Amino acid sequence: MLRGPWRQLWLFLLLLLPGAPEPRGASRPWEGTDEPGSAWAWPGFQRLQEQLRAAGALSKRYWTLFSCQVWPDDCDEDEEAAAGPLGWRLPLLGQRYLDLLTTWYCSFKDCCPRGDCRISNNFTGLEWDLNVRLHGQHLVRQLVLRTVRGYLETPQPDKALALSFHGWSGTGKNFVARMLVENLYRDGLMSDCVRMFIATFHFPHPKYVDLYKEQLMGQIRETQQLCHQTLFIFDEAEKLHPGLLEVLGPHLEHRAPEGHRAESPWTIFLFLSNLRGDIINEVVLKLLKAGWSREEITMEHLEPHLQAEIVETIDNGFGHSRLVKENLIDYFIPFLPLEYRHVRLCARDAFLSQELLYKEETLDEIAQMMVYVPKEEQLFSSQGCKSISQRINYFLS
């Protein structure tokens, strides 16, 4: 007997089976029959009929989505349209098993001979994620979607797109980077077109910086040769060695030297950093005290202060690198500190992602467990939404 996830996967596979078409001229004894004593007029049967029709339509959607994931080159516009209306999303459990089935199939069958055919650029999905799953970051929501979409829709961009995310820990920098990866590439972080580097993990020892530079250049070059659209993510960017930042410079220039010219027309660099998150918090707090609402805060209020403070920072190389001094970073994107209401929403999403029931009182209890600053106002969560998932486990034990 099938048990656990395999039983659930088998049930999901049954949903993928398209319903058999009706024979031409076949009669439907339940239609046109509403006599009081007729079995076809029984309300329970009518509801069953509607549920079966809905299940048939759903199975066609699942099959279309599965075939488009496995054979993207053979997926035409009609099939994509059949997958559902604009913005339609698979339920979380269905998407999970769809991804599992796709991975299983592609483990023994080459679904994609090169990385490029797995590029999806699902801007509708990205917009949905930013609007529904990201909380308290209206500036990020507006700027990231517009900037990334505009860049990738430019026929021949003259430079790589460089975005630098700044803010306190737990405000959503890694979360948004993951949204970009998942919506631009069918395989997410497993895509051959994506590389993620964590400064303290991939480049921990300053004495090996020359080796790191050679390895980094080789990985960038290899990825760009493989894919016409690439994405490079540098987490803890403020901890990157100045020599590594120098190596990246030619890849971000408008006209790179011939030896460093990018092989792929579209390249995005994301830098994630806690650097000067305190300045963002100070500006936001000042505006809130002056009577501004959070949603009235604009990039004009924050970006000039943020960029100036990054340049003046003396205890790391990022602000003094040519990336900043020569304006090779296109946008410094501030992530605002999160408030109590945003922490509650993060807790709710954590329950939903694990398909768990919750009570409003539980969300309040979780939000109240966080530390809020400054000491007097206690407006901002010092950890943002970090550790929310772990705190949920406390209520499940």
Q: Does residue 76 fall inside a structural domain? A: no
The angle subtended at Cα 181 by Cα 320 and Cα 12, nearest 5°, is 160
List pLDDT tens digits, range 129-188: 999 999 999 999 999 999 999 999 999 899 999 999 999 999 999 999 999 999 999 999
Mean per-residue pLDDT over the chain, rounded: 81
pLDDT of residue 313: 81
Q: Does residue 48 fall inside a structural domain? A: no
| Domain match, 275 and 247 both | yes
**Beta 266-273 vs 161-166: how paired, if at all?**
parallel
| Domain match, 236 and 385 both | no
Into how many domains does the chain fold? 2
Out of 302, 318, 336, pick the residue that ends a domain.
336
| Domain match, 171 and 204 both | yes
Q: What is the CATH number of the domain that holds 324?
A: 3.40.50.300
For residue 357, is pLDDT > 80? yes
CB 24 within 8 A of CB 113: no
350/387 Cα distance (integer angstroms): 10
230/237 Cα distance (integer angstroms): 19
pLDDT of residue 2: 47
Question: What is the domain range of residue 346?
Answer: 341-393
**Beta 380-381 vs 372-373: how paired, if at all?**
antiparallel
Confidence of residue 85 (pLDDT cuts 50, 70, 90): very low
List the structure tokens of 329: 């970073």
| Domain match, 243 and 323 both | yes
Three-state DSSP class for 144? helix
Global pTM reads: 0.74
| Domain match, 355 and 210 both | no
The one-character DSSP state at 170 is T
List pLDDT tens digits, range 311-351: 888 777 898 899 999 999 999 999 999 999 999 999 999 99
| Domain match, 389 and 318 both | no
For residue 21, is pLDDT > 60? no
DSSP codes of every residue in 85-140: STT----HHHHHHHHHHHHHHHTTS-S-SSGGGGB---HHHHHHHHHHT--S-HHH
